[in-house]
Amino acid sequence: MNQPQGKIVALLALTGALFTASVHAGVFPDFGYAPPKSEYSGPPFQLSQDYPKAPPGASSMPAFFQHLPKTFSNDFETWRPYMEEVKKYCLEGNTEIGWKVQKNKIRRWYHMPWQHYGPNGREGISGLTKEAPIQPGQLASTQTDSGQTYAVGIYNDIGAYTIGQVWKDPDNPDPSYTSKPKSFPNGTVVCKALFADIDVKTVPFLANPLLWKAYTTETFTSTDRSVTQVALIQMDIAVRDTRVSDTGWLFGTFQYNGAVTGKANWNNLVPVGIMWGNDPKETGNDFTNPKPVETKINPALKQTAINANTQELPPTHLGWNGRLNGPVDNPQASCLSCHMTAEYQQLALMNPTFQANPPPVGGDEWMKWFQNIPAGQPFSPGTQSTDYSLQLSGALANFYDWKCNHSGVYADGVNACTKLQTLKLIKASNAPEDEVHKVQRSPELEELE
């Protein structure tokens, strides 16, 4: 080789520069399940992963922050204008582009990386991940078959800045950015659209369905996929607001009601309610309602506000003892109850019923899942909080499973993470391996390997 030395150095420098630039564009896989060309020829899903490199300034603060009610009442009507504004914030500029959110002309949105991995990973048409089974009767008394839920979540620029920090080194993610003394910053907004794979004719509120194409498994327990259409059923929101005292978060949800406009339309999403705490002292069970023929509103709850307009909101089951949950959610849980367990490593179960011998309903052990945990504080000692983001704890678990367990085992019996001392996180706690949980919305998913 008689290349002059200087040229090689220049070339190396250039490659380095290109690599650094690409860290923020296309470094993470877009999806895990590509539909065959014979079944789908449209554009593939693209992960919005050009995370902001600097904290977005004050001009990014969502305008709806000004309209947080002065007092937090369990009368939903005091929340209705706020919830309508959050809904608009999520949908504006997204509905007309089919949620290709990096193309939104009003404000940019971003996806969580590392959700492509594993049996319920992102599919390649709409970016949906497999979430949970739908039990017979869960949506309506006429719904006798079971079904399954798929979903996609998006973060605004304030939240996405933190995602970019956690994943700045894509080979060594760092959840200290979401754990005490840090957390997702004030102004973070997450919206999540959920879709049902169900016979819509058996669910009255899914009349005039809004359908998305997706590459889904044939049944919840199957791994065979085909291109299908799934119906919009729910939209969740999570808002990080430092004015919310007990948890620092507001979680709310909307349910589809096709009768509202009489056609397939995002405006058919009607509010179910909003919650800002778990009412830790309310231990009763009278309002738990897994197979709804009416919506049972529990007036004893002071940190959940449910829409009482039965003309607008179809009968829905809510969560444990009337705390907030949506139609595809677990009736023994609540939004904040599941989400406050988000941590890395995930030592906590998301719900007390996700184990062989659940503790007595309403007892002290059960109520651990219905406390109020401040933003950034982990549920289990010795772990780091992913600050109410189960997508982030799931993504980290996926990453480390791939990195540690699927890159092979050395002759001395240890895996790549044990060899690589720089990857300290996998040993973030001293927990035995069998106490680490997958971050999945329902325990049934653990069996799908």
Under the binding rule (CB under 6 A), the answer on residue 306 touching ligand HEC is no
Among 123, 197, 282, 329, interactor with ligand HEC by CB under 6 A? 329
If the CB atoms of residues 101 and 238 are measured against ligand HEC, the closer one turns out to be: 238
Query: Does position 244 bind ligand HEC by CB under 6 A?
Result: no
State yes or no: residue 289 binds ligand HEC (CB under 6 A): no
Binding to ligand HEC by residue 439, rule CB under 6 A?
yes
Residue 321 binds ligand HEC (CB under 6 A): no
Residue 431 to residue 109: CA distance in whole angstroms:
36
Q: Which residue in 50, 105, 64 sits closest to 187, CA to CA? A: 64
Does 116 engage in binding with ligand HEC (CB under 6 A)?
Answer: no
What single-letter amino acid sits at 425?
Answer: L
d(Cα 102, Cα 96) in Å, to the nearest integer? 13
Question: Which residues is 71 bridged to in the sheet?
Answer: none
Distance CA 238, CA 445 (A): 24
Contact call for residue 233 and ligand HEC (CB under 6 A)? no
* Residue span 179-218 as binding mask against ligand HEC, x where in contact by CB under 6 A, dash where not: -----------x-x--------------------------
Note whether 243 and 224 are within 8 A (CB): no
Tokens of 404: 């540690």
Nearest Cα residue to 92 out of 58, 62, 120, 67: 62
Please report whether residue 151 would count as binding ligand HEC according to CB under 6 A: yes
CA distances from 97 to 31, 102, 215, 228, 350 (A): 19, 10, 19, 20, 34
Q: Which of 153, 175, 209, 277 binds ligand HEC (CB under 6 A)?
A: 153
Q: How far is the CB of 394 from ligand HEC (least distance, A)?
A: 5
Q: According to the binding rule CB under 6 A, does residue 391 interact with ligand HEC?
A: yes
397 is a contact residue toward ligand HEC (CB under 6 A): no
348 binds ligand HEC (CB under 6 A): no
HSE-up of 316 (CA within 13 Å, CB side)?
34
Pull the structure tokens for residue 126: 């709409």
Q: Is residue 322 within 8 Å of 297, Cβ to Cβ?
A: yes
Is the distance from CB of 380 to CB of 347 less than 8 angstroms? yes
Say how far apart CA 203 and CA 209 lie, in whole Å: 10
- Residue 166 interacts with ligand HEC (CB under 6 A): yes or no: no
**Choice from 149, 307, 394, 396 touching ligand HEC (CB under 6 A):** 394
Q: Give least dist CB 43 to ligand HEC, A.
A: 22
Find the residue with minimal CB distance to ligand HEC.
Answer: 335
Minimum CB separation of residue 324 from ligand HEC in Å reads 5
Is 47 among the residues that bind ligand HEC (CB under 6 A)?
Answer: no
Answer yes or no whether residue 339 interacts with ligand HEC by CB under 6 A. yes
Query: 147 and 190 in contact (C-beta within 8 Å)?
Result: no
For the CB of residue 408, give the shortest distance to ligand HEC in the complex, in Å: 28
Contact between 399 and ligand HEC by CB under 6 A: the answer reads no
Task: Please identify, using beta-carbon distances, which residue of 45 and 251 lies nearer to ligand HEC.
Answer: 251
Nearest to 193, CA basis, from 239, 148, 231, 247? 231
Q: Considering CB under 6 A, how many residues would be counted as binding ligand HEC?
A: 31
Q: How far apart are CA 316 and CA 229, in angstroms?
A: 23
For residue 27, give both structure tokens.
């470094």
Contact call for residue 305 and ligand HEC (CB under 6 A)? no
Site residues, ligand HEC (CB under 6 A) = 115, 129, 131, 151, 153, 190, 192, 236, 238, 251-253, 324-326, 329-330, 333, 335, 338-339, 350-351, 388-391, 394, 439-441
